[in-house]
Amino acid sequence: MTQITIRRPDDWHLHLRDGNMLQAVAPETARHFERAIIMPNLVPPVVTGAQASAYRDRILATLPEGSRFEPLMTLYLTEDTDAEDLARAHADGLIKAVKLYPAGATTNSASGVKNFDTVRPVLEKMAEIGCPLCVHGEVVDDDIDIFDREAVFIDRILDPLRQATPGLRVVMEHITTAQGAAYARSGGKDLGATITTHHLVINRNAMLVGGIKPHYYCLPVAKREEHRLALRKAATSGEACYFLGTDSAPHLDGAKLSACGCAGCFTATNTLSILAEVFEQDGALDKLEGFASLNGPAFYGLPVNTGTLTLTKGDPVTYPEKIVTPEGDVTVFDPMMPLHWRVD
């Protein structure tokens, strides 16, 4: 097969930042994606409907003329979240989900949840109105190894939370382990999981062997090869519970390469070429449309995009190494393999 046409894809987990960074990176996603769930971890975070509306306006203002890209907004869950404001924003169609960050788990998560009991009334309201909860699934306890944080979170936090809140629709964001893939598969219609592009490509060796490679440092951190293979098996399986969420996370090179480098891989530019390469390697090109274009809308109760996108196989595709911003460059994720699939 040298050409494949799919419904235009969506990205169910995306960081666009704000200001000059937003202006530089938003067109990279809008070029290939119809919609994206926008992460709310700005500084300060997006915690009210009014803030989500203003952020959406800033995103739309950066898009090229004629762009059809639709940002799907979220609220950042805090222990002070107003359940009624949340419900109004959801009823108005302003927000499509709420994001749960355990406090201290990742970039700009300091305002996240420490005591999960305090947010139970909000979660119950979300279950009542059908608003999904997108979960960054890691514990932050000092005594838990960073490579075990996801598996422990499932046992300690996520499973009890779901049992205590029947009907709550949950998206396990950016799963990185075989345990995460297995739990998502077992969860029924109210549980889904996003898988990133980079976690399908790298294991922890990419970050650590031959010297520290900051541009492969992300959170959740890449795991052992057995977990990467489990994620590829899940993504290419065709099972409806798995869908694309790139977690594309731009940081200036200066921040990535600093003594305490920021976590995140910027994959918006070349994700579709990488995915086609991965799915072809695993003999699953016929499953790419489900993963990138169909399963996410089905979980969120949204229509599938009517437009299409065609990828053609040929000579290796060249992508820019950097995206330029007024404050500095952002490095585009290097998949460490030639990419033969070009978006027409």
Residue ranges of domains in the chain: 3-343
Q: What are the angstrom distances between the C-alpha of 43 and each of 15, 99, 160, 332?
A: 13, 15, 30, 23
Q: Which residues of 242-262 are buried (b: 16+ CB within 10 A; e: fewer)?
A: bbbbbbbbbbbeebbeeeebb
One-letter amino acid for residue 299 of the chain: F
Closest CA to 294 of 26, 2, 27, 10: 10
Task: Tell me the C-alpha distance between 213 and 206, whole Å.
Answer: 7
Provide the CATH number for the domain formed by 3-343 in this structure. 3.20.20.140
Specify whether 11 is catalytic: no
**247, 253, 282, 286: the active-site residue:** 247
Residue in the structure block whose two tokens are 């033969």: 340
341's enclosing H/E stretch is: strand 341-343
Q: What is the pTM of this model?
A: 0.97
From first to last of its 344 residues, the chain has per-residue pLDDT tens of 899 999 999 999 999 999 999 999 999 999 999 999 999 999 999 999 999 999 999 999 999 899 999 999 999 999 999 999 999 999 999 999 999 998 877 776 667 888 888 999 999 999 999 999 999 999 999 999 999 999 999 999 999 999 999 999 999 999 999 999 999 999 999 999 999 999 999 999 999 999 999 999 999 999 999 999 999 999 999 999 999 999 999 999 999 999 999 999 999 999 999 999 999 999 999 999 999 999 999 999 999 999 999 999 999 999 999 999 999 999 999 999 999 999 99
